[in-house]
Amino acid sequence: MSKKDIPYKIYLSESELPTQWYNIRADMKNKPAPLLNPGTLEPMTLEELSVVFCTELAKQELDDTTPYIDIPEELMDFYRMYRPSPLIRAYCLEEKLGTPAHIYYKFEGNNTSGSHKLNSAIAQAYYAKKQGLKGVTTETGAGQWGTALSMACSYLGIDCKVFMVKVSYEQKPFRREVMRTFGASATPSPSPDTNVGREILEKFPGTTGSLGCAISEAVEAAVSTEGYRYVLGSVLSQVLLHQSIVGLETKAALDKYGVKPDIIIGCAGGGSNLGGLIAPFMGEKLRGEADYEIIAVEPASCPSFTRGVYAYDFCDTGKVCPLAKMYTLGSGFIPAPNHAGGLRYHGMSSALSQLYHDGYMSARAVSQTSVFEAGEQFCRVEGILPAPESNHAIKVAIDEALKCKETGEEKTIVFGLTGTGYFDMTAYEKFNTGMMTDSAPTDEELARAFADLPVVNK
Amino acid sequence: MSKKDIPYKIYLSESELPTQWYNIRADMKNKPAPLLNPGTLEPMTLEELSVVFCTELAKQELDDTTPYIDIPEELMDFYRMYRPSPLIRAYCLEEKLGTPAHIYYKFEGNNTSGSHKLNSAIAQAYYAKKQGLKGVTTETGAGQWGTALSMACSYLGIDCKVFMVKVSYEQKPFRREVMRTFGASATPSPSPDTNVGREILEKFPGTTGSLGCAISEAVEAAVSTEGYRYVLGSVLSQVLLHQSIVGLETKAALDKYGVKPDIIIGCAGGGSNLGGLIAPFMGEKLRGEADYEIIAVEPASCPSFTRGVYAYDFCDTGKVCPLAKMYTLGSGFIPAPNHAGGLRYHGMSSALSQLYHDGYMSARAVSQTSVFEAGEQFCRVEGILPAPESNHAIKVAIDEALKCKETGEEKTIVFGLTGTGYFDMTAYEKFNTGMMTDSAPTDEELARAFADLPVVNK
């Protein structure tokens, strides 16, 4: 392979690790719409947000003008343990597909939390500790975020209470146990520990829970416990800020070898991975310095970009959180039970929603069997068993590479490989045994969910 | 952390990746005793070995004079996908322990197979393919080897049949499913598919299987199926040869920063990790060029070095394999059922046995609760959740670092972090809930097992 001038893995040295996060909102002409107080319907103030979030994180949430924000040195120390993450040239996949396209993926699964979620988890835990808090509360669905946060809190020595969607809690005992090994508590949600949880349990005794419900419980637990704040793994602008390190590293690695991508692909649930990966590229696009085709990939069973409406909506089931303007399927929407893995949030990052609305990126919804098929194909040649979420990006990367095969174009495709699938083998088993099925909401279901949108949109 | 002159992670560039394996036997004055034909008790010839192993691997097994063997270019391509692996300076652990010692670990868990086993799996699969074989058979206990081999065979497009110790097959469904995702078949052993398996099932209908029994089945399946050979993940000299890449990279990374280790620590089951990690350091020691303290760590429940005898023994339960001279607990030995994870083989690499016998290294047996305690301590500060096997090395590394704290010595300690513990959360759960127990064979049990040693020793 001496003829190959790009290495299989492009590692940056520690000294090339970005020392600032990039805040995409600073370069947006149309800023994302502000979070609204659900009572007054006025934009949330720093004081109001600081009841729920650490003050420093609330500031980051409101800051849509500062383009670069220094990463504190203590955080850099943690990042240095597992970052820079590798940018990998998928030579083996290219060969297998017989495509002239050049495919790269940014691999974020090389840390024990198993995903990119750690980048924001450690930042949020850090600010909580700096503020002198005892601990944080959060929710987790598929478990990547809860795992990452447990790891971060364990490292910093603060408490971590995770409300885990009940169905995941029961189906993913190993994921739960990783959190416990890191010293966190994991409570199945809905739980009898909160008012919201008790109400929902009373109304729907057999419910297996939802992300929106777990969020409500985690927020309630935070605001009602002295010395605690709530943290969230996606959707928020602060999370996209922290995740920008993924994109900054990707761009630095490509720049090092003079490679300019044509297409950038990321899976999108709440937007943490996609927003982080595309950040510096989107920045160039917004400033008119370069052009890239940017594609968000979402599950057909939870298609907020492709079938949602752009409106203010509740972020949680209990309706205790601020309202966000976003592409949403309605806060009551829950993906069909056969949907595996994450990417199951009803809404989407406000910043990404605005960018999508303004035409800076496109979106595709894909069926989960096609997604697992792509993931298995990838895994057998590239030697990484991807998370179901990552498989969405792989699917569209392969689709685009096969288009290049037809046209003969040598496009450069970059996608985000957000994590590993070690804890998703039940889903792989379903796929391997032909038991996996697809689903998508009907128009009637969506219409019912949209009817529940808050009155502020009228 | 700008004051730190050694990075958190020392990565070698692709061009610094070793292109040859190092064969420790070439530098041994007392060569390891030869494998014996169980029928004639004469040393196994190339022809005889080639019935079981690929011819090229049989040659490597017999070669105790060539110090360096080229890694084929196609293999180098595969290695480049996940190697060089990082050598990590455990700054956070050092700080937590308050030790003046400098601790480094070579992390081999950064590939989807999750462990160092892939280094030899891909080599063995490569030679099988090159010989035009249809596929390979093997056994797996904890599942790391089976996973790695499945991945390697999938990449090269050859068939892979894994006999998995029944208790693991049932307790580790996710591990089994990873193999299936890579396209391999996994059969619980003992199985009705082989003569050996049927015999054992008839004699012990309720047996949960053992590694020795799975080896017998895999060997039988290989020699009785056209176009198949048997491959093994540890114990053999060829495996240590392939694993030498771990040690060569470790040494190259340390040399790059002018660091000379005082103590090198590896866990030892059959010896694949330990033999690979220490290879170039032991070579220097054998040639009188440098001195290192080398420590093998084994479970108190399977203490072949520390409580075994140095004798010829059967490598498998069915007694169909060649005899090997090694430290052994007797081929009938099975660790107590409460023993978690791997490191459960009754014997030990012949080469390492000879080196231990000649006083070039020491060995320690440790209890599993102390091992998991060390692993959890490590995990909370270093952010990697280690495999139970790796926890053995961590335990002794911490012990040595705490000794330095007492004496004030600034020793440099290097240990092998062989893999991640994602598939061992049941064991972690036992530890976390206080349900984990320790065990060690009684002298009477060992005496009974030793009585079964083959007559050649008399």
Percent of chain B with pLDDT over 90: 85
Any chain B CB within 8 A of the CB of A68? no
Buried b vs exposed e over A146-185: b needs ≥16 C-beta within 10 Å?
A: bbbbbbbbbbbebbbbbbbbbbbbebbebbbbbbbbbbbe
Q: How confident is the model at residue B326 (pLDDT cuts 50, 70, 90)?
A: very high
Q: What is the dihedral of CA A109, A113, A119, A123, to 10 degrees?
A: -170
- Give domain status of residue B40, yes or no: no
Q: What pLDDT score does B188 carry?
A: 96
Q: What value does the mean pLDDT of chain A take?
A: 95
Nearest-neighbour CA in chain A from B83: distance (Å): 9
Any chain A CB within 8 A of the CB of B156? no
Domain count, chain B: 1
Q: What pLDDT score does B3 carry?
A: 52
Query: Per residue in B118-133, pLDDT tens?
Result: 999 999 999 999 999 9
Chain B residue numbers with beta carbons less than 8 Å from the beta carbon of A178 are 385, 422, 425, 428
State both tokens at A211. 């992300």
Helix (H) or strand (E) holding B187: strand B185-189
Q: Are A1 and B77 in contact (CB under 8 A)?
A: yes
pLDDT at A318 over 60: yes
**Using CB atoms, which residue from B76, B154, B425 is nearest to A174?**
B425
User: Do residue B383 and residue A82 have CB atoms under 8 angstroms apart?
Assistant: yes
Q: Which residue of chain A is at minimal alpha-carbon distance from B150? A: A380
- Give domain status of residue A173, yes or no: no
Best to test chain A binding among B103, B112, B119 (most A CBs inside 10 Å):
B112
User: Do residue B385 and residue A181 have CB atoms under 8 angstroms apart?
Assistant: yes
- Give domain status of residue B436, yes or no: yes
Helix (H) or strand (E) holding A322: none
Domain hosting A89: range is 83-114+237-450
Placement of tokens 């960018």 in the chain = A355
- Give domain status of residue A205, yes or no: no
Query: Per residue in A428-455, pLDDT tens?
Result: 999 999 999 999 999 999 999 898 899 8
Sheet holding A159-165, edge to edge: A185-189, A159-165, A135-140, A228-230
pLDDT at B311 over 80: yes
More confident residue, A255 or A81: A255
CA-to-CA distance for B204 and B202, rounded, in angstroms? 6
Query: Per residue in B368-380, pLDDT tens?
Result: 999 999 999 999 9
Q: Are B21 and B242 in contact (CB under 8 A)?
A: yes
End-to-end CA distance of chain B: 61
- Give domain status of residue B410, yes or no: yes
- Give domain status of residue A349, yes or no: yes
Chain A residue numbers with beta carbons less than 8 Å from the beta carbon of B113 are 383
CA-to-CA distance for B176 and B168, rounded, in angstroms? 9
Q: Enter the ipTM.
A: 0.90
Nearest-neighbour CA in chain A from B397: distance (Å): 19
Residues B392-409 have a mean pLDDT of 98
Pick left, alpha or beta for residue B109 (phi over 0 → left; psi -120 to 50 → alpha; otherwise beta): alpha
Chain A residue numbers with beta carbons less than 8 Å from the beta carbon of B376 are 181
Nearest-neighbour CA in chain B from A108: distance (Å): 11
Which runs of consecutive H residues, i.e. helices, occur in B287-360?
304-307, 350-357
Query: Per residue in A215-272, pLDDT tens?
Result: 999 999 999 999 999 999 999 999 999 999 999 999 999 999 999 999 999 999 999 9
- Give domain status of residue A251, yes or no: yes
Any chain A CB within 8 A of the CB of B181? yes
Residues B202-222 have a mean pLDDT of 92
Query: How many pairs of residues across A and B have Cβ atoms under 8 Å apart?
Result: 137
Q: Which of A299-303, A414-418, A420-424, B363-367 is least confident?
A: A420-424
Closest CA to B170 of B200, B217, B206: B206
Q: Which residue of chain A is at minimal alpha-carbon distance from B6? A: A14
Q: Which residue of chain A is at minimal alpha-carbon distance from B90? A: A81
Nearest-neighbour CA in chain B from A60: distance (Å): 25
The CATH code of the domain that includes B360 is 3.40.50.1100
Q: Are A421 and A449 in contact (CB under 8 A)?
A: no
Any chain B CB within 8 A of the CB of A333? no
Q: What pLDDT score does B457 carry?
A: 86
**Using CB atoms, which residue from A7, A151, A177 is nearest to B428?**
A177
Q: How far is CA B103 from CA A210, B3, B10, B361, B373, in A?
A: 44, 17, 13, 19, 18
Q: What pLDDT score does A3 carry?
A: 52
Give the amino acid at A348: M
| Degrees, nearest 5: CA angle A434-B149-B393 | 120
Sign of the alpha-carbon torsion through B82, B83, B84, B88: positive
Closest CA to B106 of B298, B273, B223: B273
Q: Which residue of chain A is at minimal alpha-carbon distance from B420? A: A112
Percent of chain A with pLDDT over 70: 99
- Give domain status of residue B379, yes or no: yes
